[in-house]
């Protein structure tokens, strides 16, 4: 597609439920990143993929969070047993390579609200 696409754009869920967030990167981009944007916390790195493998999962806040990427394209971020502190905007970005100079293209994010 023309840009990074994320779905849903908004998700409201009840505490304790599982949620799945989807990211469609720009076609051909091998690197894919997940970030979380919370008020007052800025952009928090969660995980990144190079192809289908995740060299760095260090940012995942707990074992309730997991992510996968299949076919070197679409990625899903799953949050199990959601808590109110999980409420945030979840941003996905992709780049053509994982080179440190490479420009990231961001999606518009998924606004997650846990009630």
Partner 1 sequence: GDSVTQMEGPVTLSEEASLTINCTYTATGYPSLFWYVQYPGEGLQLLLKATKADDKGSNKGFEATYRKETTSFHLEKGSVQVSDSAVYFCALCQAGTALIFGKGTTLSVSS
Binding site for partner 1 (CB under 8 A): 4, 33, 35, 40-43, 45, 48, 55-56, 59, 91, 93, 98-101, 103-109
**Minimum CB distance to partner 1 smaller for 35 or for 65:** 35
Which helix (DSSP H) or strand (DSSP E) does residue 94 occupy? strand 88-95
**Minimum CB distance to partner 1 smaller for 21 or for 93:** 93
> What are the tokens at 7?
């779905």
CB of 86 to partner 1, least distance (A): 19
Tell me the helices (H) and strands (E) count for the chain, helix number first. 0, 11
Q: Is 111 exposed, middle or buried (0-12, 13-18, 19+ CB in 10 A)?
A: middle
CB of 39 to partner 1, least distance (A): 10
CB of 107 to partner 1, least distance (A): 6
**Minimum CB distance to partner 1 smaller for 27 or for 100:** 100
Find the largest Cα–Cα distance for the chain: 40
């Amino acid at each position: 597609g023309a840009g990074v696409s994320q779905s849903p754009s908004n998700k409201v869920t009840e505490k304790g439920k599982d949620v799945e967030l989807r990211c469609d990167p720009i076609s051909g981009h091998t690197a894919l990143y997940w970030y979380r944007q919370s008020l007052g916390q800025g952009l928090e790195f969660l995980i990144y993929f190079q192809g289908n493998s995740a060299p760095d999962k260090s940012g995942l806040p707990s074992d309730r969070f997991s992510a996968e990427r299949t076919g070197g394209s679409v990625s899903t971020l799953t949050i199990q047993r959601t808590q109110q502190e999980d409420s945030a905007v979840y941003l996905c970005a992709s780049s053509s390579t994982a080179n440190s100079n490479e420009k990231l293209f961001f999606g518009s994010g998924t606004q997650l609200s846990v009630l």
